[in-house]
Each structure stands twice: as C-alpha cells, then as structure tokens.
Amino acid sequence: MIGVVLGALMGSAAVLLLFAMTTPPRHWSSHRTDKLRDLLIQAGVGGTSPLAFIVFSMGLAIVTALVFLGISQAWPVAAAFGAIASMVPWMVVSQRARSRRTHLRETWPDAIDDLLSSVRAGMSLPEALGNLGVRGPVEIRSQCAAFARDYQSTARFSESLDRLKERFADPVADRIIEALRLAHDVGGTDVGVLLTHLSRMLREDLRTRGELEARQSWTVNGAKVAVAAPWIILALLSSRQQAASAYATSTGAMVLLGGACACAVAYWLMIRIGRLREEQRVLR
C-alpha cells in the first residue's frame, strides 16, 4: 500500500514539474498574481507565468517531502521540509529580484545623464531613449532596444512607454518613464531641466537608501541564520531512525508545528524591523 501511495505521489510530482516547464505564460488579473508577475520580471525570469511558478513550487515540495519520508520514515518531518521546499523558489526569486532592483537603481542616474546628453545633442526624446539600447548602461539595453523597435513600428510614444514599463516592472522605472512622458508632452527647454532634477533626485535617494541598508543588513542576516539553524539540525537528526521516530507521533507533529509558527512569526518581525520597505508600483 505504501508503495502505491509513493508511486502516485512521485507521478503527481513529475506531472506538476512537466506542466510548470511546458505551460506558456497566462495573463491573470488579480492583485497577487500581478505582484508575482512583477517579481518574476524583476528577477529576470519574466517568461515564467505565475501559474507555472506556483506549480513548480508545489512539485518541488512533493519531491522533497518524499525524499525526507524515505529517509526519516516520519511524516511530520517530511511535511515540514516539504513546506520549507515550497518556499525556496519564492525566496530565490525574491533575493534575485531584490539584487537586480538594487543594480537597476544604481544604473538609472547614469542612464538619465546619457539621455540628457543625447537630448542636448539634438536628438528627440524618443530617439534618445531608443539610443540607450545601443550606448546606454548594459542593465537596461535590452529593454530600451525593445522600446526603439516598438516606436519604429508604431510611432506612438505613449504606448511604447507603457510596454517599456511592463518590461521593467519596477517602481523606480515607473516614475522615470512617467517623468519622460511628461517631458515629452511639455517639450521645449523644460526637458533638460526636468532630466537634470530627476538625475539629482535619484542620486540623493540612492545615497540615503544605501546608508540605511548598510546599517540594517546585519539584522536581516541574523534573522535568516536564526531561522535556518533549527531546521538544519532537524535535517541532520532525521537521518537517525531513533531521533526521527520521536517526531512520527501526534506530539512530535505538534512540536514541529509550534516550532514552525514560532520561526515564522520571529522571522516576520525581524524582517519588518530590519528591512527597508520596498517601493510599490503605483504608476502602472
């Protein structure tokens, strides 16, 4: 009977993983799926749909639970590590997205300076923005090159800017693009003044945020180590049959559940206290 159950679970995990890798992106309209889609784009995996990402996380959780069930023969331990495994893709994507947002935030002042130089050299604003796809910072070249293709094919600056915002899916990029839209509508000598003030504002924001992150990074790192330590110890203990059997009871399951809740609450509090709040996209 156990072999049949294990076989069914492994088959389900294989189907879920295959579905995640072969399903094309779908467009949903809920707020949570929009945030997840933005997170995937910021992490550089925008070709993955939110549904495929969720299915992959579920498949990884099932496979991990089966592995720990085979090692420890204790279903509470397997369920605990299956739940942890389901959060690993989200943690990896979040970390990658946070890193890319930081690099992009550092890139924007130089990009605005290049844009300002092109405008002063006589280029129109759409031409200057498309020129960043060739001579601009490496981090934004592909998006700006795509903007240039959109503008060449449609000659509609506003619609091309909307597509550019979707490619970045970044709150700082949203502010800059809306400022460029306003500069294009206003025109004249105000374009250079607006870009100059925008570059100065971005540099001041970057300097202030960098100082705060440097002071509070130890709190975030400490929270991660404190949460991970007991589960690493549990993973080592689960390889010993006598230790694992202590958790294969209702009492052991309650102990693991209480520990998971305590870790989750403590980690959430530490992150809330120690990490700067990320900007939200309000100019979609």
Positive or negative, the CA dihedral 216, 219, 220, 221 is: positive
Model confidence over 196-224: pLDDT tens digits? 888 888 888 888 877 777 777 777 777 77
| Measured distance CA(174)–CA(163) in Å, rounded | 11
Half-sphere exposure of residue 38: CA atoms within 13 angstroms, side-chain side: 22
Mean confidence (pLDDT) of the chain? 81
CB 147 within 8 A of CB 130: yes
pLDDT over 50 at 55, yes or no: yes
Return the pLDDT at 172: 83
Model confidence over 134-191: pLDDT tens digits? 888 888 898 999 999 999 898 888 899 999 988 888 888 888 888 888 877 776 566 7
Return the pLDDT at 119: 83
| Measured distance CA(170)–CA(41) in Å, rounded | 9
Place of tokens 């550089």: 44
pTM: 0.73
Name which of 11-20, 74-83, 170-179 the model is least confident about.
11-20
